[in-house]
Amino acid sequence: GPALDSEALRERAVASLITARDRTTLLTSCVDGPELTAQHSPLMSPLVWDLAHIGNQEEQWLLRAVAGHEAIRPDIDTLYDAFEHPRAERPGLPLLSPQEARRYAADVRGRALDVLEGAAFHGTRLTEAGFAFGMIAQHEQQHDETMLVTHQLREGPRALSAPDPEPVPLFTGPSEVLVPGGPFTMGTSDEPWALDNERPAHRREVPPFRIDTTPVSNAAYQAFIEDGGYDEPRWWTAEGWAHVRRGSLTAPLFWRRDGRQWLRRRFGVTEVVPPDEPVLHVCWYEADAYARWAGRRLPTEAEWEKAARYDPVGDRSMRYPWGDADPGPEHANLGQRHLRPAPAGSHPAGGSPLGVRQLIGDVWEWTASDFLPYPGFRAFPYKEYSEVFFGPEHKVLRGGSFAVDPVACRGTFRNWDLPVRRQIFSGFRTARSEEA
Ligand code: AVJ
Ligand code: FE
């Protein structure tokens, strides 16, 4: 891992907190008050809930747990406890108003920066290497992505805009890459801000397999639709087929057929589905069915991570596909710089040593795997971050989307969700076992 001294870590913590708050401010100031308190979908919280929850988590971890401060607002903790109130219930709670929520989050932030200035970065596990600060910056960025999902679900005119990614020539390289079999190191024990579920580093045996060079594109997914993929039970698991029938699914979320072409609504603007862009807003069942139709399968989580981190020359696991350097714009489409994934085949500089592209950024990639603890897992700093979600009901997503900030994205980073979810920025790539 990177050996940063405590001053560099402190600077990184300050910068990460500021970047996160700038984004939170953008996402909660580009619509007016009633839109912040409205519920745009029963799947999501009102934006003003996310805002105060961000402040409340920061208060609990940086002010109370790290610095031992008294609670500023002990009365609001249960309102912003995600386990007390499911999302659908949140608009009915006596939430802070947008103005109160902004003031509260800003008040907490001012005190947190004071704590950060004087914090010893060695000492308790929570402050070692500034972990608690990195955890809270990642938490805010994760809610910023959640708020961006809410913006995508919101009806009404465009509120956000960003330049489109650079166009690239149609990708004509090999469609898949052979990853040699053998053990590799999965997870990490030395990335300072890695979350509990990414730990510890351990060896995994992975048989040889082939994986798509790029994420599956809209054009490829459309071929599955046009071939009657949604009408053919044989491509679907039993649960997936029941889900497709129940919900009358015929295409990714936000798609609409218009004669011979498909349109999609993206952040308040309708456009023709761009053929070269990675497919977005598919659930695990759709990804799994497409893969079967294509004569392939989803990669396991271990396969995905080996494709993303394994350097066959050095026989070691790297932080990212391109090496150990932090992500730059040349490597990956991250950080909501754009409001869409980059075309399939973009970012050759972010490719792996074996030539797999776009593993980081663009779209979250569904894997075949259930969300399970690594051998030697220890919940830290609280069971409700990861441990309570382990089990077969959640599938793992890897790699991060265009809406993920670099602080919350690593070759080891694990996301998870229910197999029916598709409002998230989810796509996939496929794989197949290499015959011995
Ligand atoms: C890791 C994205 C599944 O949003 O539920 C936010 C992150 N945990 N607050 C989620 C999280 C607590 C989590 N995911
Ligand atoms: Fe949260």
What does the pLDDT read at residue 56?
98
Torsion of CA 354, 415, 393, 55, to 10 degrees: 180
**Phi, psi (rounded to 5 degrees) for 36:** -80, -30
Ligand 1 pocket residue status of 416, Cβ below 6 Å: yes
Tell me the CA distances in angstroms from 70 to 67, 73, 111, 112, 368, one per residue in order. 9, 9, 12, 13, 45
What does the pLDDT read at residue 123?
72
- Which ligand 1 atom is the nearest neighbour of the CA of 416? 3
26's tokens: 């953008």
114: CB partners within 8 A, 6+ apart: none
Strand partners for 335: none
Report yes or no for ipTM above 0.90.
yes
229's tokens: 């993929």
Burial (CB count <10 Å: 0-12, 13-18, 19+), residue 248 = exposed
Ligand 1 pocket residue status of 142, Cβ below 6 Å: yes
Q: Is 292 helix (H, G, I), strand (E, B) or coil?
A: helix
- 308-313 long-range contacts (CB < 8 A, ≥24 apart) are 308/352, 308/356, 308/359, 308/360, 308/398, 308/399, 308/411, 309/184, 309/185, 309/411, 309/412, 310/179, 310/184, 310/352, 310/353, 310/354, 311/353, 312/180, 312/353, 312/354, 313/353
What residues form the annotated binding site for gamma-L-glutamyl-L-cysteine?
87-90, 417, 421
> How many whole angstroms from its chain centre is CA 58?
20
Q: 10-residue block means of pLDDT along the chain (436 residues)? A: 78 98 98 96 97 98 96 95 93 96 98 94 86 98 98 96 95 97 98 97 98 98 98 98 98 97 97 98 99 98 99 97 98 98 98 98 99 98 96 98 98 98 99 91
To the nearest whole percent, how much of the chain has pLDDT over 90? 96
| Residue 358: CB atoms within 10 Å | 31
What does the pLDDT read at residue 1?
45
CA gap 377, 295 in Å, rounded = 35
CA gap 121, 83 in Å, rounded = 30
Strand partners for 395: 370, 417
Closest ligand to residue 58's CA: 2
DSSP for 314-377 reads TTEE-SBTTBSSPP-TTT---TTSSSSPPPTT--GGG--TT-----SSSSEEEEEEEE-PPTT-
Predicted confidence (pLDDT) per residue in 262-321, tens digit: 999 999 999 999 999 999 999 999 999 999 999 999 999 999 999 999 999 999 999 999
Kindly report the protein residue whose alpha carbon is nearest to atom 7 of ligand 1: 142
Residue 413 carries which side chain, given as an amino acid letter?
F
288: CB partners within 8 A, 6+ apart: 236, 237, 240, 297, 298, 366, 368
Ligand 1 pocket residue status of 415, Cβ below 6 Å: yes
